[in-house]
């Protein structure tokens, strides 16, 4: 049964976390607005449009990044004040076990983590659609760096039609839904190519809802024999629609978790590469809410010790631990997308390591 002190700690933790998150979000919004002031002016849009179509998505995006760390700092702030007023010492001297003191922290962190989990799964991705669309239209489209990055990566698409058939679209344009640089399709039997189809252009036929090839060359291969046939126009089914072929660096942020799962599953069936970024995002949406609970307990353990440095020392320790957590999270993401680290391990590695740190700090905490 919860006591008055439990409700006090739960209320303080939730309200302090919400206050710090709002404060940091406003600061981040002001900084971002100053950096993109020229882009906002060049867009020709009103202040109301920018607020409702950019910052309405930017603020939830920032919250998704800073929420666990802000929850951690909030716990350190009010717990260190309690320790400075000897409230923690009084509870321990009154016979209250340290585990019992941590109970309201755990309850509050579970409430915050549950709200944050639901938001990351469904609400924040929908808000990211606003931010990403505005960014792509009015910021990235006018950036020579972003355009250069797009051209450097190219616009070639490679898909897996079925278990034995692979296709490639060269210089594919998402706006016109056409590949003007050429198209090829290979069907394999074991390790041998038994069918090859090439075409000068490939376009989406909106009337027939299928892909149309122009100036195609079809080859049926049987050992050393080859049957070649030129076809002016033909239609084929690639088991993929134009809206599923997208060049969007914000795509993983814009999809809800069910949509992200479906996207990963379909791309794996097509044999697409470079999916680790999407898989890490998928697993992080479960791992990050857990880090709220983990960091809350760690913050309570760190700040419950009464020291001469008071809140300043606790805050310094908290900032150092938060910085280490962020660096570790970025390193694990890089090792997964650029190396061979499994996405599941990359998403959960910071939590695993900080769980060990939390256990060590808990054993050294005054009881």
Helix (H, G, I), strand (E, B) or coil at 72: helix
Q: CA-CA distance, 104 to 11, in Å (whole number)? A: 9
Shared domain for 35 and 105, answered yes or no, is: yes
CATH number for the domain harbouring residue 181: 2.30.30
Task: Output 144 or 355, whichever has higher pLDDT.
Answer: 355
User: What DSSP assignment string belongs to 217-285?
Assistant: EEEEEETTEEEEEEEEEEEE--S--GGGS---TTHHHHS-HHHHHHHHHHHHHTT-S--HHHHHHHHHH
Structure confidence at residue 155 (pLDDT): 66
Shared domain for 15 and 136, answered yes or no, is: yes
Task: Output 316 or 18, whichever has higher pLDDT.
Answer: 18
Domain assignment present for 199: yes
Structure confidence at residue 309 (pLDDT): 59
**Nearest residue to 79 via CA among 114, 104, 43:** 104
Average pLDDT, the chain: 87
**Nearest residue to 243 via CA among 270, 215, 228, 263:** 263
Does the pTM exceed 0.85? no
Domain assignment present for 324: yes
Q: CA-CA distance, 331 to 118, in Å (whole number)? A: 26
Place of tokens 């050429």: 182
Domain containing 73 equals: 4-142+274-364
Q: CA-CA distance, 1 to 104, in Å (whole number)? A: 11
**Which tens digit of pLDDT belongs to each residue from 163-210?**
889 898 888 877 688 888 899 999 999 889 999 999 999 999 999 889
Q: What's the domain count of the chain?
A: 2
Q: Which helix (H) or strand (E) holds 366?
A: none
Shared domain for 210 and 354, answered yes or no, is: no
**Which tens digit of pLDDT belongs to each residue from 245-268?**
766 778 889 999 999 999 898 878
Domain assignment present for 268: no
Domain assignment present for 215: yes
Query: Of 203, 227, 244, which marks where a domain is finished?
Result: 244
Report whether 197 contacts 216 (CB < 8 A).
Answer: yes
Shared domain for 88 and 235, answered yes or no, is: no
Domain assignment present for 284: yes
Eight-class DSSP state of 55: I
Contacts of 47 (CB under 8 A, 6+ apart): none
**Which tens digit of pLDDT belongs to each residue from 328-346?**
888 888 888 777 889 999 9
Shared domain for 17 and 130, answered yes or no, is: yes
Structure confidence at residue 242 (pLDDT): 85
Contacts of 51 (CB under 8 A, 6+ apart): none
Q: CA-CA distance, 183 to 203, in Å (whole number)? A: 10
Domain assignment present for 251: no
The runs of H, that is alpha helices, within the chain are: 4-35, 37-43, 47-50, 56-84, 87-93, 98-118, 124-134, 144-153, 251-254, 257-269, 276-303, 310-338, 343-364
Shared domain for 110 and 192, answered yes or no, is: no
Report whether 125 contacts 84 (CB < 8 A).
Answer: no
């Amino acid at each position: 049964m919860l006591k008055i002190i439990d409700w006090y700690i739960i209320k303080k933790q939730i309200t302090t976390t919400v206050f710090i998150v709002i404060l940091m979000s406003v600061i981040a919004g002001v900084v971002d607005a100053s950096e993109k002031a020229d882009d906002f002016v060049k867009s020709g849009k009103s202040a109301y449009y920018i607020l409702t179509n950019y910052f309405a998505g930017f603020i939830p995006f920032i919250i998704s990044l800073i929420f666990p760390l802000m929850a951690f700092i909030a716990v350190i702030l009010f717990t260190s004040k309690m320790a400075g007023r000897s409230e923690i010492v009084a509870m321990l001297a009154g016979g209250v076990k340290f585990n019992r003191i941590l109970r309201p922290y755990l309850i509050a962190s579970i409430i915050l983590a549950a709200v944050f989990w639901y938001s990351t799964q469904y609400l924040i991705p929908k808000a990211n659609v606003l931010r990403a669309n505005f960014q792509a239209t009015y910021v990235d489209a006018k950036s020579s760096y972003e355009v250069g990055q797009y051209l450097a990566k190219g616009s070639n698409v490679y898909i897996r039609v079925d278990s034995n058939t692979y296709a490639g679209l060269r210089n594919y344009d998402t706006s016109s839904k056409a590949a003007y640089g050429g198209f090829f399709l290979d069907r394999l039997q074991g390790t041998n190519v038994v069918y090859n189809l090439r075409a000068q252009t490939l376009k989406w036929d909106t009337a027939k809802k299928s892909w149309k090839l122009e100036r195609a060359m079809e080859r049926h291969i049987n050992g050393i024999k080859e049957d070649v046939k030129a076809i002016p126009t033909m239609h084929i089914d690639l088991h993929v629609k134009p809206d599923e072929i997208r060049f969007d660096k914000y795509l993983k942020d814009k999809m809800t978790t069910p949509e992200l799962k479906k996207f990963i599953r379909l791309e794996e069936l097509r044999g697409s590469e470079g999916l680790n970024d999407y898989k890490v995002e998928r697993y992080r949406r479960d791992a990050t809410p857990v880090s709220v609970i983990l960091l809350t307990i760690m913050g309570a353990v760190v700040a419950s010790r009464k020291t001469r440095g008071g809140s300043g020392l606790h805050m310094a320790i908290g900032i150092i631990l938060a910085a280490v957590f962020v660096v570790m999270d970025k390193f694990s993401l890089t090792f997964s997308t650029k190396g061979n680290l499994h996405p599941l391990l990359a998403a959960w590695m910071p939590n695993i390591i900080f769980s060990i740190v939390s256990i060590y700090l808990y054993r050294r905490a005054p009881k």
